[in-house]
Structure 1
Amino acid sequence: MHDVVIVGAGPVGLFLACELGLAGCSVLVLEREPEPGSPWKTEPLGMRGLSATSLEAFNRRGILQALLTASGDSGAPAANPDADEASPPRWAGHFAGMMLDPAKVDVAALPFRLPSPAPEVLLTHLEAVESVLAEQAAKLGVDVRRGVTVSAIAENDEGVVARAGADAYEARWLVGCDGGRSTVRRLAGFDFVGTEPQFTGYTMQATVADPEKLRSGFNPTPMGMYMRMPSEGHVGMMDFDGGAFDRSQQPTRDHLQAVLRRVSGTDVTLSDVRLASSFTDRAMQATTYRRGRVLLAGDAAHIHSPLGGQGLNTGIGDAMNLGWKLAATVHGHAPDGLLDTYTGERHPIGAAVLDWSRAQVAAMRPDPHGQAMQGVVRDLIATRDGTTYVFARLSGSWVRYDLGSAHPLVGRNAPDLRLEDGTRLGDLMRDGRGVALDFSTDQSLRGAAMGWESRIRYAAGPARNDLGLGAVLVRPDGTVAWAGDRRPDREAFERAVGRWFGDPDIS
C-alpha cells in the first residue's frame, strides 16, 4: 500500500508528488495519457505564465534554474537578486485584455517585497514545467504510471482503493489532480458549484493569409476579444455565445474564420488551421477540497476562464499548501486539524480567483454595460494605485491566509530574507522543512526550536534586511506562520511551532 495515490500527472499532480516524495512519503501517480508529450503542451499552444509566487516555490525546492533552462530563459533574471530593494517588474500583465504599464507599479506599496533569484514572471510551456517536475519526482522515488484510467474509487477503514480495469491501487490517501473534468471529483461525490459560461473561447495554430489585419497582443472589441500572440500562427478569440459551441463539435476552419471575422471586425482569412480547441469561462468550485481520505487540487477543485493566467498558479499554490500537511498526517505528527486547514486556506483563494475571472468577463461583454465597465477599468489602471492593485492580484502577492494573527506579515508568502553571510531563506527550504530565522542578538529562540529538528531548520544571525523583525517562523509551503519583533517572545514562538508542527520529537 502506498501512502498517497495521485490521479493526474500534470504540473499540479507532479508538484504535489514532489512535495510528498521530499517528505519521505511513498507516492504513486496514475496518468490516463500514455505519453507525456502533446502539441497542446509545447509552444505555442502550451504557453503559460508563471507568477512570482509560483516561481518562488520552484526556487525553494532547488529546481528554478532547471525550469528557466527548459523554458529557454537560462540567463539571469533582469532583476538583481543581490540588490537591497526590489526593482519594478519587467511585465505587469493585463485585465480583460487591457494591458498594464509596468512603470506604474508602485513597488513600495507591495507588502514585504525583497529581491529574489525568482523572476517576477516567466512565460513558459507545459512541457517544460512537466519535464522538470517529472525529473525531480523520479529523483525522489515517485512512481509514475501512464496509460492508467481510473474508473472507480472505494474507501475503507485503512485507506482508498482506486480501480483501473482489473487493476487495483491501494493507498492511505488519494488526491485528484485530474483536471477540470475530474473523474476523481465525480466518483468521490464532491459538490461542484458555480456559474455557467458567457462565451466560447478558441485557441488555434493557423496560417493567417493577411496577418496585417489583426493587431498584435490582446484586443478587446465591441464583439468580444481576440488575441494575436507573438508565436507565428497562434491566435485566440472569445465569442459571447453563452458557451454554446464549446465541445459541441470540432471547430472547422470555416467556423473559426467566421468567428474571428465577427469578433475582430475585419475580413481576415485563415488559409489553414493545424490545431484548434475551445474553452469557456464556466466558473465552478468544489464546496470542500476534502471528503474523507480523498482530496482535490488544481483544476479538479476549481475551474474558470484562462483570463489572467491564474489557473496553473492557483494549482501550484494548492499543491504547495497541501503537500507538507498531508505528509505530516501520513507520518503521524500532524497537530489536530492540520489537514482541514488545506480547505480552510485554499478554498477562499480559489473563490477569489473565480470572482477575478468573472469580473474580467463582465468587462468584456459586447453590450453597453460591458463597454461602460471597460471605460471605468481603463481609467483605474491608468493610475499608479490601480495598476499596483491589479499587478498584486496577478503576481500572487495579494494572497494572505487568515492565521489569526494581527501581524501584517503572518499568513503571507515569506519574502526571501537573507542573512549577512549570504544565506537566503530559499536556500534553507530545499529539504522541505519549515524554517525558524532568528535575527535577535542573543539567539533567544535556539533552545525553543530544539526538539523539532526533523521538521524545522533553525538559522540565526543578523539579516541584510530584516524588515524590522526579530525572528520569523516559516512553514514548509513558504507561508509566514509567526513573526516576532526585535525581542522575540519565546512562548509565543513555541505556541506557533506547536500549532503547525505538533509535539516535539523528544526521545
Structure 2
Amino acid sequence: MIYDVVIAGAGPVGLFLACELRLAGLSPIVLEQVEDPRSPLKRLPFGLRGLSAPTLEAFHRRGLLDKIAAPRGANAGSGGGAASIPHWMQQSRRPGGHFAGIQFFQDDIDSSKWRYRLPSPAGTSLAVEMEVLESALAARAVAMGVEIRRGCGVEGFKASADGVSVRAGGETLHALWLVGCDGGHSTVRKAGGFEFVGTDPEFTGYSVQVEMTDADQLKPGRHYTSTGVYTYQPPGTVTMVDFDGGVFHRSRAITLDHVQTVLRRVSNTDVTVTALELATTWTDRAFQATTYRRGRVLLAGDAAHLHSPLGGQGLNLGLGDAVNLGWKLAATIRGDAPAGLLDSYTAERHPAGAQVLDWSRAQVALMRPSRSTRALEAIIRDLIDTRDGATYFAERVWGVSLRYDLGGHHPLVGRSAPDFELSDGGTLGALLRDGKGLLLDFDGAAPLRTLARRWSNWITYVASDAKDNLGLSALLVRPDGFVAWADEATPALEAVSQAAARWFGEPETGV
C-alpha cells in the first residue's frame, strides 16, 4: 500500500495534521515511537497549556472546540478543584496571561482596538491539559479513519522525486510525502538534512512534584531571586530556572538530592525535599529550521522550531503549522494546487515561528539574575500595568496580532476571518467545517454567485447578511480560516478571480 502521507509523531500537531488531511480525503498514517500516550506529567499543573486565539478558532471551525474545552471547563484544574488551578489564576482579578511571569489582567485590555474581531465561542485563550487535548485529537483522527501506530517510531527514510520510503517498526512503508511532527529531537529533521540554527541555552529549567518539610519557607507564586527563578504551587509542585548554561538538561538522572540542591540555591531557603515523585527538565534553547520543506519531506511543530516553554506558545505555533499545511499539502497531492502553494507554507509559517522564538528569548533576558535585569523588569511591570501595555501583550500572547503577508489592499487580508453571525443564525466558523474555502457575499450579488461556480469543488458560496458585517460587501476565506480577499465596495470580479486562482488553482472548465 502507498499512503498519501506518513506523519512522524502522534502529539497534538501530528494528530491535528492527520485530521486535516483526512478531511480533504487523503490517507495519512501516523507513526509514534511512544507506545502509551499517557504520562503523569501531562496531568500536573505544569502540564497545563494555554491555547491561543488562532488555535481555538481552528478547533471551532472544525467542530472540535467543545470536545477539548468541555472536560475541564474554562480554565479549571483537573477535577475542577482550586488546588489544581495554577496559583497565578487564583486571584480576585482575572489574569489574561504573562510575560516572563509578569501578569497582565483582563480588565486592563482594550479589545476595541481589535476592529476585526467579533464575539465567538472560540474566545481568546483557554487552559487545557495536554492529555485531554491529545485524547480529543486522537479520538477525532480514529473516527475519521486515520491509522495510528504506536510503539512504531520513524527510524529513517529514503526520499526520491516520486515519494518516500520510511523505515519503522521493522518494516518499510511507502508514501508520497513524509511530515516530521516528531518533536525537538526530530529523527525526520536530522535524517532529512535540514539546517537547524539558533541560540544555545542559558539555563536548565525544572518541573517537579515533590514532598517537603518546612515548605512554608516557599512563597506561592513566581519569584525572582539573586540566583534564579522559582514558582511554587502548594502542596508540592515547583518549577525552577537555574542559569547554568543548560548543562544539566538530559545529561544525567534527576535525583532527589540534586533537586533539593537546586531548589535551595534558587529559592535561598533550606527547605528539605523528602520525596521526589515526578521530575522533568527543559531549557531555553531556541532553534529553527531554515526551511520547512526539502523535496517531499516537511517539518511541523517542534521538529521545525524549538524554544523554551515560557508563555506556552510552542503548542499553538505547532498547531498553526498543521492547519496551514494540511489543505496545501492535500491540494498538492490531488494535483489541483496552484503553482507555489506548498512553498507558501514555509513563507507564512517561518516568520511566525521566528517571532515566537524571539518572544521566548526576550522573556529569558528578563529572567536573568542580575541587578540590571531586575531594573528592566520593574520598567516592564510598569508598562504592562497600563491599558496600552496590557493590550499589546495580550495581542502577542493570545495571537490576536497574527497576520500573513498576502498582499491585497484591505487590512483584513491575511488575518483570521471574523466569526460573522449570519442572518439565519449560522456562523462563518460553522461554514468551514468541511475544510473547503468560503466566498461569503453579504450583498448577494449575482456576479459573485456566478464566479463562485467556477471553483465549486473547492469554494463554498454563501449569500447572507450578518448581524455585523464590519462594513464589508464580501470576503474570500481560505480553508485554514484566513482571509484571502475582502472588499467594502462593489466587488471587482477580476480581483476576486485572481485571489481564487492564487489559492485554489485554475477554475473548472465548462462552468
- Range into which the TM-score falls when normalised by the shorter chain: over 0.9
Please say if 1:456 is aligned against 2:459. Answer: yes
Structure 1 residue identity aligned to 2:414: G
Aligned to 1:100: 104
Q: 1:59 offset after TM fit, Å?
A: 0.7
Between stretches 171-180 and 103-112, larger displacement belongs to 103-112
Q: Name the SS of the counterpart of 1:451 in structure 2.
A: helix
Cα deviation code 1:233-258 (max 9, x no counterpart): 22101111111111111121121122
Q: 1:72 offset after TM fit, Å?
A: 4.5
Cα deviation code 1:426-449 (max 9, x no counterpart): 110111111111112535411111
Q: Name the SS of the counterpart of 1:312 in structure 2.
A: helix
Q: 1:375 offset after TM fit, Å?
A: 1.9
Give the alignment of 1:307-326 within 5 angstroms. Answer: 307-326=310-329
Aligned to 1:83: none
Give the alignment of 1:322-401 within 5 angstroms. Answer: 322-401=325-404
Please say if 1:214 is aligned against 2:215. Answer: no
Contact 2:95/2:103, CA 8 A, preserved across alignment: no
Aligned to 1:33: 34
Equivalent of 2:412 in 405, 409, 413 = 409
Structure 2 residue identity aligned to 1:450: R
Cα deviation code 1:49-81 (max 9, x no counterpart): 111221111110001111112335599xxxxxx
Q: 1:46 offset after TM fit, Å?
A: 2.4
Note closer, same or farther for the CA distance 1:74–1:221 as it changes in structure 2 (3 Å cut): closer
Please say if 1:164 is aligned against 2:168. Answer: yes
Give the alignment of 1:474-485 within 5 angstroms. Answer: 474-485=477-488
Note closer, same or farther for the CA distance 1:157–1:441 as it changes in structure 2 (3 Å cut): closer
Equivalent of 2:155 in 151, 156, 180 = 151
Structure 2 residue identity aligned to 1:479: F
Q: 1:122 offset after TM fit, Å?
A: 1.5
Q: Over aligned residues, Cα RMSD in angstroms?
A: 1.7
Structure 1 CA distance for aligned equivalents of residues 502 and 314 of structure 2: 30
Q: 1:260 offset after TM fit, Å?
A: 1.6
Structure 2 residue identity aligned to 1:100: F
Q: 1:370 offset after TM fit, Å?
A: 1.6
Equivalent of 1:136 in 130, 137, 140 = 140
Structure 2 CA distance for aligned equivalents of residues 229 and 499 of structure 1: 51
Contact 2:161/2:296, CA 8 A, preserved across alignment: no
Aligned to 1:440: 443
Structure 1 CA distance for aligned equivalents of residues 20 and 210 of structure 2: 39
Structure 2 CA distance for aligned equivalents of residues 90 and 56 of structure 1: 22
**TM-score (normalised: structure 1):** 0.94
Q: 1:153 offset after TM fit, Å?
A: 1.0
Structure 2 CA distance for aligned equivalents of residues 73 and 102 of structure 1: 15
Count residues with an aligned counterpart: 493
Cα deviation code 1:222-242 (max 9, x no counterpart): 322111247x42210111111
Aligned to 1:255: 258
Aligned to 1:61: 62
Note closer, same or farther for the CA distance 1:345–1:111 as it changes in structure 2 (3 Å cut): farther
Q: Name the SS of the counterpart of 2:302 in structure 1.
A: helix
Contact 1:58/1:64, CA 8 A, preserved across alignment: yes
Between stretches 296-305 and 465-474, larger displacement belongs to 465-474
Q: Name the SS of the counterpart of 2:357 in structure 1.
A: helix
Give the alignment of 1:9-88 within 5 angstroms. Answer: 9-73=10-74
Contact 1:65/1:74, CA 8 A, preserved across alignment: no
Between stretches 52-61 and 297-306, larger displacement belongs to 52-61
Q: 1:217 offset after TM fit, Å?
A: 2.7
Contact 1:7/1:30, CA 8 A, preserved across alignment: yes
Between stretches 332-341 and 477-486, larger displacement belongs to 477-486
Structure 2 residue identity aligned to 1:313: N
Structure 2 residue identity aligned to 1:167: E
Q: Name the SS of the counterpart of 1:49 in structure 2.
A: strand
Q: 1:368 offset after TM fit, Å?
A: 2.6
Contact 1:4/1:175, CA 8 A, preserved across alignment: yes
Q: 1:45 offset after TM fit, Å?
A: 4.3
Aligned to 2:474: 471
Aligned to 2:188: 184
Note closer, same or farther for the CA distance 1:190–1:355 as it changes in structure 2 (3 Å cut): same
Structure 2 CA distance for aligned equivalents of residues 36 and 274 of structure 1: 19
Contact 2:423/2:465, CA 8 A, preserved across alignment: yes
Structure 2 residue identity aligned to 1:7: A
Structure 2 residue identity aligned to 1:63: L
Cα deviation code 1:388-421 (max 9, x no counterpart): 1111011011111100123211111111112122
Structure 1 residue identity aligned to 2:13: V
Structure 2 CA distance for aligned equivalents of residues 90 and 360 of structure 1: 22
Between stretches 106-115 and 436-445, larger displacement belongs to 436-445
Between stretches 64-73 and 488-497, larger displacement belongs to 64-73
Q: Name the SS of the counterpart of 2:352 in structure 1.
A: helix
Q: 1:110 offset after TM fit, Å?
A: 2.4
Structure 1 residue identity aligned to 2:4: D
Structure 1 CA distance for aligned equivalents of residues 115 and 206 of structure 2: 37
Note closer, same or farther for the CA distance 1:297–1:397 as it changes in structure 2 (3 Å cut): same
Structure 2 CA distance for aligned equivalents of residues 53 and 355 of structure 1: 19
Cα deviation code 1:151-176 (max 9, x no counterpart): 21101232001112530011100000
Contact 1:91/1:121, CA 8 A, preserved across alignment: no
Contact 2:18/2:146, CA 8 A, preserved across alignment: yes
Note closer, same or farther for the CA distance 1:125–1:469 as it changes in structure 2 (3 Å cut): same
- Structure 1: runs of 5+ lacking an equivalent: 76-88
Aligned to 1:296: 299
Q: Name the SS of the counterpart of 2:10 in structure 1.
A: coil
Contact 1:39/1:45, CA 8 A, preserved across alignment: no
Contact 1:443/1:460, CA 8 A, preserved across alignment: no
**TM-score (normalised: structure 2):** 0.93
Structure 1 CA distance for aligned equivalents of residues 49 and 498 of structure 2: 40
Aligned to 1:85: none
Q: 1:111 offset after TM fit, Å?
A: 4.3
Q: Name the SS of the counterpart of 1:275 in structure 2.
A: strand
